[in-house]
Structure formats: C-alpha cells, structure tokens
Amino acid sequence: MGKIRLGVNIDHVATVRNARGENYPKPINAALIAQRSGADSVTIHLREDRRHINDKDLKEIRKKLKIPLNLEIAATNEMLSIALKRKVPFICIVPEKRKEITTEGGLNLSYRRNFLKKIITKLKNNQSRVSLFIEPNLRDIKSSKELNADCVEIHTGRFCNLVNKKKDYKFELKKIKNAVKLGNILGLEVHAGHGLTYESAKILSRVSGIKEFNIGHFLIGESIFNGLRFTIKKFRKIIK
C-alpha cells in the first residue's frame, strides 16, 4: 500500500481568531507550520458566510504555501470565479448550508447536475485537481465518474461518530470499503475526511485504496495540548 497523503485542514485556527474579531492566531502561520511538519497539503474551506477562512487568508496562503493548497468550495458562481482566479491546485466541491455547524453530508450529485458538470470542467481546464465530497455509496461513486471528477472524498462523519461513541461501526466501515473499491476500479482517486481522530484514522488507514485524508477539527484541537507539529507528525505515523 502506497503512502497515504495527509491534508491538514486549518479552518479552526480562523474560528479561534474570528471568535474575538482579532487578527490572531493567523491561519497562514498554521499553514506554514503544517508544511514544515510533514503535511502533504493544506485544506481550507472558504464558506459563503466567511465564518472562518476569508478571502485575505486565501490570497496569503495561496501566495506563500509551497505544498498544494486544497480549497473546499460550494458549487456557486462566486466560489468558481474565486477558485479560477487564484488557480488553486486542489479543489474539493462540498455542499453548504448556512445554518449547519459543519459540512453535514455529501453532495447531492443530481441537484443542478449540468451546472456541477460545468464547474468541474472549468476548474479542470484551469489545471485544478477536482474532488467531490460524497457519501460512501456506490451510486455517488458512479455519478462522480460520470461527472468527470478526478477524485472523490468520502464523508467519514457517520463512521467516525460511531467509533468515538464506541458503537458498532462495521456496517459503516463496509460501506466505505465498498465505495473505495469501486472508486479505484473506476479510476477515481479516493480520499476520506470528516471527523477523523487518531483512532478512526488508524482504522481507515488499513482500507486499501484511500490515497488522502483531510483532517481538521480534531487535529487543531489536539494541537492546543501538544502543538501542531507534534500532532501532525503523530497523524503521519498513524496513517503511514
């Protein structure tokens, strides 16, 4: 099994900053520490309401980061034009609801399908690698292939929740395994993310065919106690 890439999501550094309306802690500093600590990419989600990362963060991180930036965006014209303008190397299209605390589920791939297809084509023509954040089901894997995405990121939230609560996660794990398998058969690069902790990342790192993890909330939380560098290195070891 090849090396699994680690994408470090630094949105919650901005959450802490924005809680007080100050200009610290700076997301760019977290991005550069992540880069120095062995992250393969840095992930940020530019939300419509700019509740964590804002346009200035994106500009600064895009300019200074040497490893690939993975920008999560909703499928809107505004986000498309920002992603095109900044020529972001990795794009992950995610669903977005204003009132949600975090991204609650995978994309609905049949909603405004032609528009989604148009966005994917434009981003790919702009040299971005395009990923779709989807639920672990076979229909969405096939649909992502039809939409000509390069990658899918499987929403691992439900699985991670069961692991955290020490409940039976076998069924969810099976769904993820089946989705990963089909994704690989169809030639999609398969990623996983949402809610990952040391424990759930370890379990999923044994699923053959997952090429990238994107991890944020738990990782930033652990960094309060052990530092970003230590936490990233520990995740690196776990998913190797």
Kindly indicate which of the ranges 27-35, 57-65, 208-216, 224-232 contains the residues binding ligand PXP, using the contact rule CB under 6 A: 208-216
231 binds ligand PXP (CB under 6 A): no
103 binds ligand PXP (CB under 6 A): yes
200 binds ligand PXP (CB under 6 A): no
One character per residue 38-57, x = contact with ligand PXP (rule: CB under 6 A): -------x------------
Residue 155 among the catalytic residues? no
Q: Which is nearer to ligand PXP, 73 or 182 (CB)?
A: 73
Contacts (Cβ under 8 Å, ≥6 apart) of 58: 44, 46, 71, 82, 86
Least spacing, CB of residue 95 vs ligand PXP, in Å: 9
Tell which residue, 147, 82, 71, has the closest CA to residue 108. Answer: 147
Residue 191 among the catalytic residues? no
Residue 100 among the catalytic residues? no
Neighbour count for residue 216 (Cβ, 10 Å): 24
Exposure class string for 131-163: b at 16+ Cβ within 10 A, else e: bbbbbbbeebbebbbebebbbbbbbbbbbbebb
Q: Are 206 and 10 in contact (CB under 8 A)?
A: no
As a whole number of Å, the CA-based R_g of the chain is 17
72 binds ligand PXP (CB under 6 A): yes
Active-site pick, 45, 52, 155, 191: 45
148 binds ligand PXP (CB under 6 A): no
Q: Which two tokens stand for residue 73?
A: 């965006």
The catalytic residue positions are 45, 72, 194
